[in-house]
Chain A
Amino acid sequence: MTERAGGPGGGGGGPDTRVHPYVPNAVPEVKAAMLAAVGATSIEDFYVDVPDSIRLKRPLDLPAPFRSEAELVRHVEGLLNRNTSTREALSFLGAGCYQHHVPAVCDEINGRGEFLTAYAGDPYEDHGRFQSLFEYESLMAELLERDVVNVPTYDGFQAAATAVRMAARVTGRRRALLPASMSRDKRSKVVDYVRPDVDVELVAIDPATGTLELASLEARLGPDVACVLVENPTFLGTIETGGPEIVRLAHAAGALAVVSVDPSMLGVLNPPAAWGADIDCGDIQALGIHQHWGGGHGGFIASDDDPRIVMEYPSRLFGIAPTSVPGEYGFGDVAYERTSFAVREEGKEWVGTAASLWGITAGVYLALMGPQGMRELGETVMARVRYAMTRLAGIPGVRIPFAATPHAKEFALDLSAAGAPPAAVAARLRDRGIFLGYDLRSEGPEFAGQFLVAVTEVHTRADIDRLAAELVDALGGPATRPAR
């Protein structure tokens, strides 16, 4: 990278000496007056503690800047315009990041300057931030039928990893059982996060149903198991119909039951609390947050109001409190002494900047949707998923591995017996403006030729019919057919 000689603006092609809009005190007279006010002769006076041996004696080698806003916009938009968005293409990608409709009010609220630029103020000047996060906790609590929900952690991976550690601390045990169908990435995060305190083992998936194999679970359960973690729906999109039995088996062994659940499906799925599970975890991206190329995630953890469990949360927990004025709501941190803010390494894991604005957004989403909206969302998504499974299963060479199992919002699609190389089929569809789905071959050799196809309320019947028609074409039709 090299510095462009001179730069735009400023006139005459010389260096742009205009004061930068982001640096108010760069005005030369102001700077000089401030230096004089503190008795400094130059800025160098402030850096006397930085040894000469580590001083950078040249300018940073960075690209020439775009100091005017117009040029900056042109540059960044020029790069972004090389992307194809999922509003241009017809995308069936999911695998943990979902294209749901984002209500306009969600974007409006999380774009408010006060929420966007606040940080870590106290409950007086940031009363609204505390209340809106308390409300997020409260709305998630109704969805989950729980009394305790945390201020969001980073994402669903972190929530699962922390839930496993919480279970290990509560039980004093060190084995955790996870479903073999958990995504490779999530497993990678959880395993690396919980070692060396917890040993993770995988429980097999029933190859016929795509749900946890109960016999394998029973074989692995024992008095040293801290928790059984299951996902509902599973990474492969199946609904974990064995859930209540899994919880029963875990409890019989003295282990906690942890359920990683997709909150957007809880209008139609029973929450883990109804199964008797102990800790819930998951990701809130599906609740009114754009995909953001994977940058829209937030994690939740929930449980009953059992101090034995509550005291193991690393996260902030905002609670309601009285003020000196009757009828006025105040808020504050519950059991702050748990946290690393209070007691550093003696706290529970750590707490820091995570995903609060996404939490507020998810709260707005749940308030907009209400009980009826969440029910309708789940009904529509499940019906369209089943419709897509039915349509695609009718295509010669296409197999739907767990067709008899109820599915939530995505399903595995097996093209390995379709004749054409599956990756080439996906590429042909991409050329026609369709993103087929998440390529499962990265999950292991047994998934070669399979794709995880996500369908949500944004996919109409016509979209699904188009996918089916184009897939027929891509599998056997002439490769020269023009794109629509």
Chain B
Amino acid sequence: MTTATRPPTAAGGLPIAPKPVPRRFHQAAWDEPIILELSVPGARGVLPPATEPGIKALVGDPAAALPAGIGRERPPALPELSQVHVLRHYDRLSQETLGADLNIDVGQGTCTMKYSPKVNDQLIRSPKLADTHPAQDPATVQGTLEILWRLERMLAEISGMARVSLQPASGSAAIWANVAMIRAWHESRGEGFDGPGGGRNEVVTTIFSHPSNAAAAKVAGYRVITLYPDADGYPDLGALRAAVSERTAALLITNPEDTGIFNPRIEDFVRVVHEAGGLCAYDQANANGILGITRARDAGFDLCHFNIHKTFSTPHACGGPGAGAVGVAPDLVPFLPTPTIERADDGTFRLDDDHPRSIGKVRPWHGNTPNLVRAYAWIMALGAAGLREVAEIAVLNNNYLLAKVLEARGVSAPYATGRRRIEQVRYSWEALHRDTDVTTEDIAARVVDFGTHYWTSHHPYVVPEPMTLEPTESYSRADLDEYAAILAEVAREAYEDRDHLLSAPHRSTIHRIDHAPLDDPSTWAITWRAYRRKHAGG
């Protein structure tokens, strides 16, 4: 066949030209109005049941009989839409959202954007879970209780801890639960804030631990001491020694930190704090790369937490619901949130509220149950060998991506040069910025034109012009190659086609946003109602 060897023409024809790398993505752009602009007076989206005539005859209309000031005076100005128009509007908005299902989502480093198996979504939609009430008699929810009881034991085994509470709503809520237990523990020993000299009123954390460690501790009443890394990027043991004292309540630390560097002196850190009488809480937000490799309790930690939506695969849901779990060593078990789930000798499961030293509730009921069931199913799909393989492949992917990304111009991976990383890497575009004045935010805005994205870093930017990538176990070699190729292409543009980069995004839903009005009280508009009042004459 002669056509097979003929070069493709610009005008098309067969054979079709090879696809360019990176791909020519374009995101959906529906130019959708705000839903309140779509209102058609009189239209209805869903009809609630009407009151039966027999009921009306007996009790009348109690809502209409409410006293003045108590009953609604004017109807809420909600929009009126037919059902299909509500559906279409939100379907369009969903298309304008880049979920992990759609993209090579390695760019939200520290967020552990792994695949959330669809089968788990199916399982939790069962009315046997979705339509159960948390105060049902335990005899009628034995299935859920058994799943959560088993999940607790799995997480205890994975962390080495004695008991685990599944009640916290998220990672930060779990950090809070740990801080609340730390506070209660010291109070129980006469070293609370009303103790001599203010008692144990300081916590120590590191700058590469999640900001919620510092923030939750502050809410609990602690003074926060933040350690910066030493010259090699490792948490500074000397700085820790200088920071601890009889005022130290706890160390709150992530490991590997958000740089992806595992702290090889973690046992020394724990020992130094223990010797000063403090507790050690392990933020395991980055646990994905160490599943089955090393455990919080084996390093001496007294408390730890997991982000169920990260390590254990539950979907991130636009920012929650997630789920959190806190694990504790035997001495701290009495302080766990209530109730606990216990198995009786006859094999039945019950809720046990009899924990007088408990910190009480950290949220309503028992936890974000759908995500806990998803996590159980995920672990049961993998088993011990599977979890270890998850960790190993996540770490392989991370180090592979590290090598690939460093091929791009102007990027580096500060700290621990030449060392391997665990779960993620915080990169720096410092050189590129120095050469071209293009910032990491500019690059991030251009990357979206290729159908993916990345996150820079928490603040403050300790790593200059940061970019944090965490490829987890869910992405293939080809995915990682494609992602690295996108970064290389955008870096090339920074040097060779700067104006095109700086005017990005070009193929996203919208164009460059002017953020200035969002910081000025006279112009910010947090609702459509406020926008109309401030900017559209009411």
Q: CB-defined interface of A419-450 with B at 8 Å, one 1/0 digit per residue?
A: 00000001100100001001100100000000
Q: A83-B140, A116-B99 are in contact. Are A188 and B360 (CB under 8 A)?
A: yes
- Which A residues lie within 8 Å of B56 (CB)? 383
User: B384 and A142: CB pair below 8 A?
Assistant: no
User: A342 and B459: CB pair below 8 A?
Assistant: yes
User: A294 and B367: CB pair below 8 A?
Assistant: yes
> How distant is the Cα of A337 from the Cα of B519 in the complex, in angstroms?
9
Q: Which B residue's beta carbon lies closest to that of A459?
A: B49
- Which A residues lie within 8 Å of B473 (CB)? 22-25
Provide 30 A-B residue pairs closer than 8 Å at the C-beta atoms, listed in order of the A residue.
A15-B385, A38-B403, A48-B420, A49-B262, A50-B262, A62-B157, A63-B383, A69-B381, A72-B377, A84-B140, A109-B94, A119-B319, A123-B513, A138-B34, A142-B76, A186-B361, A243-B70, A244-B70, A267-B72, A270-B71, A294-B365, A295-B372, A330-B513, A353-B172, A354-B322, A370-B79, A371-B75, A371-B77, A371-B80, A384-B51
> How distant is the Cα of A124 from the Cα of B513 in the complex, in angstroms?
9
- Residues of B9-47 contacting chain A, CB below 8 A: 27, 31-32, 34-36, 43-47
- Which B residues lie within 8 Å of A310 (CB)? 521, 526
- Which A residues lie within 8 Å of B368 (CB)? 292, 295
Q: CB-defined interface of B64-87 with A at 8 Å, one 1/0 digit per residue?
A: 111101111101111111010011
Q: A45-B420, A128-B92, A196-B193 are in contact. Are A97 and B133 (CB under 8 A)?
A: yes
> How distant is the Cα of A59 from the Cα of B530 in the complex, in angstroms?
57
- Which A residues lie within 8 Å of B261 (CB)? 49
Total count of chain A residues near the partner, CB < 8 A: 222
- Which of B87, B219, B372 has its CB near the most chain A CB atoms (within 10 A)? B219
User: A127 and B97: CB pair below 8 A?
Assistant: yes
Q: CB-defined interface of A370-413 with B at 8 Å, one 1/0 digit per residue?
A: 11111111111011111100100000000000000011000000
Q: Is B410 an interface residue (CB 8 A)?
A: no
Q: Which of A20, A40, A189 contacts B399 (CB 8 A)?
A: A40
Q: Is A366 an interface residue (CB 8 A)?
A: yes
Chain A nearest Cβ from B101, distance in angstroms: 4
Q: Is B246 an interface residue (CB 8 A)?
A: no
Q: Is A93 an interface residue (CB 8 A)?
A: yes
> How distant is the Cα of A134 from the Cα of B530 in the complex, in angstroms?
11
User: B132 and A114: CB pair below 8 A?
Assistant: no
- Which A residues lie within 8 Å of B78 (CB)? 139, 142-143, 366-367, 369-371, 374
Chain A nearest Cβ from B364, distance in angstroms: 5
Q: A67-B383, A96-B364, A340-B214 are in contact. Are A118 and B97 (CB under 8 A)?
A: yes
User: A345 and B215: CB pair below 8 A?
Assistant: yes
User: A72 and B381: CB pair below 8 A?
Assistant: yes
Chain A nearest Cβ from B287, distance in angstroms: 13
User: A103 and B46: CB pair below 8 A?
Assistant: yes
- Which B residues lie within 8 Å of A345 (CB)? 211, 214-215, 217-218, 224
User: B76 and A353: CB pair below 8 A?
Assistant: no
Q: A76-B147, A114-B101, A119-B319 are in contact. Are A141 and B369 (CB under 8 A)?
A: no
- Which of A77, A125, A343, A387 has its CB near the most chain B CB atoms (within 10 A)? A125
User: B48 and A376: CB pair below 8 A?
Assistant: yes
- Which B residues lie within 8 Å of A417 (CB)? none
Q: Which of A38, A157, A337, A353 contacts B309 (CB 8 A)?
A: A353
User: B46 and A124: CB pair below 8 A?
Assistant: no
Q: CB-defined interface of A123-139 with B at 8 Å, one 1/0 digit per residue?
A: 11111110111110111
Q: A72-B381, A185-B361 are in contact. Are A117 and B77 (CB under 8 A)?
A: no
> How distant is the Cα of A163 from the Cα of B146 in the complex, in angstroms?
36
Q: A81-B128, A290-B131 are in contact. Are A333 and B518 (CB under 8 A)?
A: yes
User: A352 and B170: CB pair below 8 A?
Assistant: yes
User: A293 and B363: CB pair below 8 A?
Assistant: no
- Which B residues lie within 8 Å of A123 (CB)? 510, 513
Q: Is A170 an interface residue (CB 8 A)?
A: no
User: B144 and A54: CB pair below 8 A?
Assistant: no
Q: A293-B141, A340-B214 are in contact. Are A460 and B529 (CB under 8 A)?
A: no
> How distant is the Cα of A355 from the Cα of B216 in the complex, in angstroms?
18
Chain A nearest Cβ from B314, distance in angstroms: 10
Q: Which 3 A-B pairs have the closest CB atoms?
A: A294-B365, A65-B383, A294-B134
- Residues of B280-335 contacting chain A, CB below 8 A: 290-295, 298-299, 307, 309, 313, 315-322
Q: Which A residue's beta carbon lies closest to that of B117?
A: A22
Stretch from A217-225, A250-258, A316-324, A469-477 contacting the other chain = A316-324
Stretch from A27-35, A171-179, A200-208 contacting the other chain = A27-35
Stretch from B107-115, B236-244, B429-437, B485-493 contacting the other chain = B107-115
Chain B nearest Cβ from A271, distance in angstroms: 8
> How distant is the Cα of A135 from the Cα of B53 in the complex, in angstroms?
36
- Which B residues lie within 8 Å of A375 (CB)? 63, 72, 75
- Which A residues lie within 8 Å of B531 (CB)? 320
- Which B residues lie within 8 Å of A85 (CB)? 127-128, 130-132
Q: CB-defined interface of A453-464 with B at 8 Å, one 1/0 digit per residue?
A: 000011011000
> How distant is the Cα of A383 from the Cα of B59 in the complex, in angstroms?
7
- Residues of B482-512 contacting chain A, CB below 8 A: 505, 508-512
User: A141 and B321: CB pair below 8 A?
Assistant: no
Q: Is B396 an interface residue (CB 8 A)?
A: yes
Q: Which of B44, B89, B126, B321 contacts A355 (CB 8 A)?
A: B321
User: B361 and A128: CB pair below 8 A?
Assistant: no
Q: Is B196 an interface residue (CB 8 A)?
A: no
User: A22 and B403: CB pair below 8 A?
Assistant: no
- Which A residues lie within 8 Å of B150 (CB)? 63
User: A62 and B379: CB pair below 8 A?
Assistant: yes
Q: Which B residue's beta carbon lies closest to that of A39?
A: B403
Q: Which B residue's beta carbon lies closest to that of A20?
A: B386
